[in-house]
Amino acid sequence: MLQTRLIKHCRQCGTAVAYRMPDDDNRERAVCPSCTTVHYENPLNVVGTLPVWGEQVLLCRRAIEPRHGLWTLPAGFMELGETVADGALRETVEEAGAKVELQGLFTLLNVVRVGQVHFFYRARMLDNTLDPGPETLEARLFHEHDIPWDEIAFRTVRATLQHFFDCRRQGNDYPLHVGDIG
């Protein structure tokens, strides 16, 4: 079930919080016994792209935990002040140094167990130059038959890649896929 992100201390005053149900609420929250601030914990958005160059797709090998050394699509946590599309583009530049043009939103995957929603856009690479950032050991292009399926870092990335290759085999239509990752 839902993983709570156990808050330990009040963000306003630093006092240790207690989990309890506020009077007008229906679930437990981290409440500060000193200044009464209620800390709400809500799902986080992870945003990224599936960059495509001709027949190939771009994957990045992670230089950071979790899943160090495994392959992923460029993606990361959305920042305040940006849209889902802005975040997806930013992560693509930061992790792979790829120049892309966003196409349609392709997957929206709920990962309820960890309190996240993952969004991936299809993206057309404008050239094939790459310049991986510090979070990436290596960025490279893969044909479908070369995809390292046993070394994919996240189930949402695996699902996005599988949907993409399925759609491509069936024609050139790429509708939005909405799903839940258990």
The residues that touch Zn ion, with contacts defined as CB under 5 A, are 10, 12-13, 15, 32, 34-35, 37
The reply to whether omega before 66 is within 30° of 0 (cis) is yes
DSSP one-letter code for 130 = -
The nearest distance, CB 44 to Zn ion, in angstroms, is 23
Nearer to Zn ion, 15 or 83 (CB): 15
Shorter beta-carbon distance to Zn ion: residue 18 or 178: 18
Task: Please check whether residue 85 is in contact with residue 92, taking contact to mean a CB–CB distance below 8 angstroms.
Answer: no
Residue 10 CB: number of other CB atoms within 10 A? 19
Whether residue 75 contacts residue 60, with contact meaning beta carbons closer than 8 Å, is answered with no
Q: The tokens of 55 are what?
A: 């027949």
The minimum distance between CB 17 and Zn ion, in angstroms, equals: 8
The residue among 31 and 105 lying less far from Zn ion, judged by its C-beta, is 31
- To Zn ion, the closest distance from the beta carbon of 37 in angstroms equals 5
Nearer to Zn ion, 10 or 125 (CB): 10
CB of 14 to Zn ion, least distance (A): 7
Contact call for residues 46 and 38 (beta carbons, < 8 A): no
In contact, 17 and 28? CB cutoff 8 Å:
no
Indicate the residue type of 25: D
Least distance (Å) between residue 24 CB and Zn ion: 19
- For residue 118, which of 174, 47, 180 has the smallest C-alpha distance? 47
37 versus 45: smaller Cβ distance to Zn ion: 37
| 54: helix, strand or coil | coil
3 state SS of 33: coil
Q: Which is nearer to Zn ion, 13 or 126 (CB)?
A: 13
Shortest spacing between CB 43 and Zn ion, in angstroms: 24
